[in-house]
Structure 1
Amino acid sequence: MERIKITIADDMEAHRRRLERIIGTQMNFELLDSLESGAATVNSVCRRQPDILLTDIEMETRFAGIDASKAVHSMYPDIKIIVLTVHEDDNIVYAAFQNGIVDYLIKSATPDEIIAGIRSAYLDDSPIRPMIARKLRSEMVRVKNNESVVMALLNIVSSLTPSQLEILKLLCQHKSRQQIAELRSVEVETIKKQINGILKKFNMSRTSEVVKKLNEMNLFDIAGHL
């Protein structure tokens, strides 16, 4: 049997020792290193290049494991990275998978689940676990809903005059009416009238509502790529 070389990263000694014991039960598992920080993990991986990296997320910083995974994946994309964590937050899950992680296990996973996860990752056959599948389905629905909102907003933005559009961009940069008036060398009253026209097109009563919605959707970034 091929030996599977493994590195562990977790700032809690009890968790590291548990993983070390689990790895020690398998004849073809070889523990290369057991570390307690993301920075040390990157250094170790560069030197020893394991097949599998088992990493926690929160170590010396809140996202140390994800930062380390990103660095490792950029240098050694063939290394399979598995997150073992207590976090089930959607944003953390997405951040993990965006940075080269192939599997995501909760620390309460059984030894058999962890061993199976390591073997599957080594064979490039990691499953999409039910927890992840649920989150991905929810994200797909959210993205689809956002698409319709973005298109509606883009239609409104495309109907603005060049002057209104420039004022809207400045509002989204959190410029005040006075600052906008000075930048455009016009009276504040002129800016107020333009803003009223913008609000009517968005069917909103306050500029803060419009700005919040556009910035949440990164609308001007999207528009710049169309």
Structure 2
Amino acid sequence: MTSIRILLVDDHTVVRSGLKMLLNAQPDMVVVGEAADGNEGIAKALDLNLDVILMDLSMPRGRDGFSSTAELKKVLPNINVLILTMHDDDEYLFRALKAGASGYILKSAPGEELINAIRTVFKGEAYLYPTATKRLIEGYLNFAEKGEEDSIDLLSPREKEILSYVAMGYSNKEIADRLIISVKTVESHKAKIMEKLQFTSRPELVKYAIKKGLIDFDD
């Protein structure tokens, strides 16, 4: 039987040890490497012949799971990255999927579910924990029902305000100064705007803002 070759990327040694014991006990799995942060994970992924990378999201040192996953998919487009995290949060889920993750599962999940998730992504299929799948479908259906003409209603008043400034070419610092908020808050709002409108670039935002009449060039 061919074993699924797995790399563990998590900053907690105890977590990696527990996962290694669980996975190596499976007849079709073997942990061939461990890494404590994203940078180390990327380096090992390039050296090892891997099938699945089990990736944590929150790693204080080095790269986090989002940027690591995105980088890995650039250099190893066929690699299967399964996110294993404590974050039961839609924003984390969407960011992970956009980065190229093949699956998303919570650390609170039973061992049997994790094993099933690994086997699922190994076969080239996507895996999401049950409640995440339900929320993802509901979110898509709600967006589809609203349609583009009503998509502006997905944005909060503050997000509409920030969108207008972004479209007019203001920098994050300039927007923060005008609204008396932090640059980090501006960046967070911009990320949520892109997520809600399903855009990936600033030109899309500009075009959308013009279409919706959000740009005031007399400001």
TM-score of the two chains, using structure 1 as the length reference? 0.65
Aligned residue for 1:70?
A: 70
Larger Rg, first or second structure (1 or 2): 1
Q: 1:42 to 1:138 in 2, by over 3 A?
A: same
Q: 1:57 to 1:170 in 2, by over 3 A?
A: closer
Are the aligned partners of 2:9 and 2:34 in contact in 1 as well (CA < 8 Å)? Answer: yes
The Cα of 1:131 is off from its aligned counterpart by 1.7
Q: 1:134 to 1:28 in 2, by over 3 A?
A: closer
Are the aligned partners of 2:82 and 2:104 in contact in 1 as well (CA < 8 Å)? Answer: yes
1:133 aligns with 2:133: yes
Are the aligned partners of 1:81 and 1:103 in contact in 2 as well (CA < 8 Å)? Answer: yes
Aligned residue for 1:158?
A: none
Once the two structures are superposed, residues 165-195 of structure 1 have per-residue CA deviations (whole angstroms, 9 ceiling, x without a partner) of xxxx7796488xxxxxxxxxxxxxxxxxxxx
Q: 1:73 to 1:174 in 2, by over 3 A?
A: closer
The Cα of 1:115 is off from its aligned counterpart by 1.4
Aligned residue for 1:222?
A: 208
The Cα of 1:16 is off from its aligned counterpart by 0.8
Aligned residue for 2:27?
A: 27
Structure 1 SS opposite 2:77: coil
Superposition CA RMSD, Å: 3.1
Q: 1:219 to 1:24 in 2, by over 3 A?
A: closer
Q: How does 1:1-226 map to 2 (within 5 A)?
A: 1-60=1-60, 64-144=64-144, 145=146, 147-150=148-151, 173=168, 220-222=206-208
Structure 2 SS opposite 1:33: strand
Are the aligned partners of 1:150 and 1:219 in contact in 2 as well (CA < 8 Å)? Answer: no
Q: Percent identity?
A: 21
Once the two structures are superposed, residues 138-178 of structure 1 have per-residue CA deviations (whole angstroms, 9 ceiling, x without a partner) of 321453436223589xxxxxxxxxxxxxxxx7796488xxx
The Cα of 1:79 is off from its aligned counterpart by 1.1
**Gaps spanning 5+ residues in structure 2: where?**
154-163, 171-188, 198-203, 212-219
Which amino acid is 1:116 matched to? Answer: N
